[in-house]
Chain A
Amino acid sequence: MGEIAEVLIIGAGASGAVAAKHLAEAGVGVVCLEQGREVSSDEFYGDKPEWELMSQRLWHPNPNVRGLATDYPIDTSESDVNPLMFAGVGGSTLIYAAHWQRFMPSDFRVRSLDGVADDWPFTYQDLEPFYDHMDVEMGVSGLAGDPAYPPMTPPPLPPLPIGRIGRLAAKGMNELGWHWWPAPQAIPSRAYRGRSQCARRGTCMQGCPEQAKASTDLTHWPDAIAHGAQLITGARVREITVNAQGLASGAIWIDRDGVEHHQRAEKVIVCANGVGTPRLLLLSGGDRFAGGLANSSGLVGRNLMMHPYAATVGYFDEPLDSWLGPAGQAIHSMQFYETDKSRGFVRGAKWNAMPTGGPLGMRSAYGGAPLEEAWGENLHRATQKRFGHSFEWGIIAEDLPDPENRVVLDDSLTDTDGIPSPKIIYRNSDNTEKLIAFHLDRQREAMEAAGAKSISTTTLMRDCGWHLMGTCRMGNDPETSVLDQWGTSHDVPNLHVLDGSTFVTSSGFNPTATICAIALRSVMHMIETRADQRVAS
């Protein structure tokens, strides 16, 4: 690797893929280092009888459960929530549910409106054209006109059917006069740009065997590579290097034979997610940047937000085919999204009505309960009650930034290359707990209105940290933020971050649409201003 890349991207997931495609199409020389590998759709088990069995290990979203060499272990001993992710070409989009949600206009003005957290350095209107663009690139299916949002450009594909569970959930919401809408999803309701129509297998979160769901290995990497981007897999970065001028000059990475390389670059973009990115910055900088690269604010790794997830399951007499996909959401609701201070907390949550999967469920989780409770005749009773006869209302609870919730380097844990692992220190706030309690009460009412014969709730799912945000926040003030509004480090002008680390607040929405829109906005700005930028030589 003697050549100097114009742009080095670290991480080939959602934001890295968006950056690589657009930079390469603009004629910029791109090298991307990805610690994982390419995954073929025939490796997924969604079209095989073993789907549920393998979802509990090989395709589990928690890297500590998978235990693959391509993952790095994470110390979660001081966290209420486990962070979830996947390392590979396409990153966590390989196993996300593809809820394709925009943030609300109010999400960008939380300090102004509710007196908490901070405002973003740009508005919904600034981001809107990039949301529109990403809808087309991903092939979003949805129904225009959702009154929970300002008027917007319709998505390119018609909505997926809401199915029996969506209709039942909707009837309950109508009984109560509450908002619902067919959910937007990055899953094609028609064949789209080389991808298949969704087959509704309902296995989105363990990889789509149909090559339908919009994961960036399918939506972006082929174009990026066709335009000259070089993608190197099995490349684990241990440090971003810095030159005598204090500019990022590349990265040291280790191949799968243990050989170390130095990829030099004029510019470095980190897209390693809200845990991996601060980990790498904290590992970098040397003596010149004590405390980590780009960390003069001391905020690298801080303000971690992970969206605590709670849920209500309703059980019904009628057959609902509730193993049918898409797995993510049939309908959503923003009835209780915005702040109402009379509830005793600020901010809110999106709800998503979801199927409940196959017959196996989580049998391994029953150890220690009275035997007759989980097994024997009750096994059949519980399975018949849930399987095909239930759906879930989930809560994406807005998580406010708290500097004490953070990613740090672990003292002893390492990955297979001996690089220190991240440790997560994260506690739910009082606001979050009140928010979840309120929403669970409302969901119980929604389930009763839908005619549920019985209801169960989960107050906090530990394996729910899909959304990794806030650990390199954007802002206008270098003392209170790590990055400017374009994802550029305040400290190192040719170092950029484009993943969920950039978020100022978390919203109550699944973040991938916003991660991609922000990445696109930042990259387009980078392309427009490339002649004016300082780069390492």
Chain B
Amino acid sequence: MKRLYALVLALTLLLAFTPLTGCSQDDSGETVRIYNWGDYIAPGVIELFEEETGIEVVYDTFETNEDMYLKLKNSSGYTYDVVIPSDYMISKMLREDMLAEIDFNNVPNAAGIDERFKNLDYDPTGAYSVPYMWGTVCIAYDPEQVTEEVNSWDILWDEDYARRIFMIDSERDSIGVALLSLGYSLNSTDPDELEEAKQKLLEQKPLVLAYTGDDVKDKMIAREGALAVIWSCDIGIIREQDDTLAYAIPDAGTNVWYDAAVILKDAENKANAEAFLNFLCRPDVAQMNADYMGSASPVSEALANQDESIRNDPIVNPPAEELAKYEVFQMVDGAAELYEEIWSYVLAS
């Protein structure tokens, strides 16, 4: 009798754990596991890839770089093959030896990537990442509610727009906006400057309607607010539904970001992962994605085919002299905990 109960117990435990083990080995066919930002790929791209290659795609999304990083760090062994983090996070993952070197013989389309996106600071040798998308942090606003010119970050501290402002629920971006408004570097590690930024965010808090994520697009389209800090890759998705919102980058400059596809060291389907990267760099696919997000594709041929309104938009494709003024996020070694504490503090206040 005892044995029977033991068996029942064992079966129960087994059942409880099957979903965890099941997903990595449920199929005999070829698969590739991809981890990308939410709402960050054009509809149909994955289906097209599956159709052309016969490789099944398992696709999951994350909300911020930190969220993605922690999920990978806290799982042991194989999780995903391809991940698409941002610049500073790629540096961090590279330093922690989480990335696999890409065999560019399997990614011939990467040759079509514009020279200026190759070997950027986050991946100096260019051996670990393939640029996916790039853009800026900008202010989206409703011109009916905001009639003045938007040229300063200070507008996000303007009492006139109290409870009509959306900020991003992401520590680097929101603290970054505060640092910019104070005239400091986005990558400041100076405790005094960061303290000022914290006070600045606390001062702003009563004016902020909510700290949001991907849903800011819907909220701005529904005119829930007047101003929102957004990533320029959201512009295309907003325009698709509503082209009456306006966008601006303050004169003081902003953050320019580069998101790139990387292959994890623990990847079990590296060849499929490389096939996927190659697919993303194919000019027609790159253009589908860039058009969907209203961004300027890093693939030269794709960019050339994109609409002029995107190519000439200084928000998504800033001219070189402007770009030189913008800052890329870097790792904030030594101040990482301070950033986390500030953000927790601001949210809790």
A binds B: no
Which A residues have a C-beta under 8 Å from some C-beta of B? none
